[in-house]
Amino acid sequence: MSPQMLGLAAELIEAEADGDAVSLAAIAWRLLGEAGEGLAEIGRLRAAIHSAWSRPQGQISRAPAAA
């Protein structure tokens, strides 16, 4: 878990203990943003993997490998 997420989790626990609904809503919004960024990164990685996997492979060179 990222340090940002840990900090938000600590803030969430404190706001809940205080019964601070406004802070809870703000923290939830920030957590949602953090999760969305993570999901976007996963999507970019999946697209890169798919692109690399689908890329046509060239012919295998029959030349001996350099030592």
Q: Is residue 61 part of a domain?
A: no
**pTM exceeds 0.75 for this model:** no
* Domain limits for position 44: 3-54
Q: Is residue 63 part of a domain?
A: no
The per-residue pLDDT string of the chain (67 residues; one tens digit each, 9 = 90 and over) reads 678 878 888 888 898 898 989 988 898 888 888 888 888 888 999 998 888 888 777 655 566 655 5
Q: Is residue 62 part of a domain?
A: no
* Total number of domains constituting the chain: 1
24-63 in b/e burial notation, b at 16+ Cβ within 10 A?
A: eeebeebbeeeeeeeeeeeeeeeeeeeeeeeeeeeeeeee
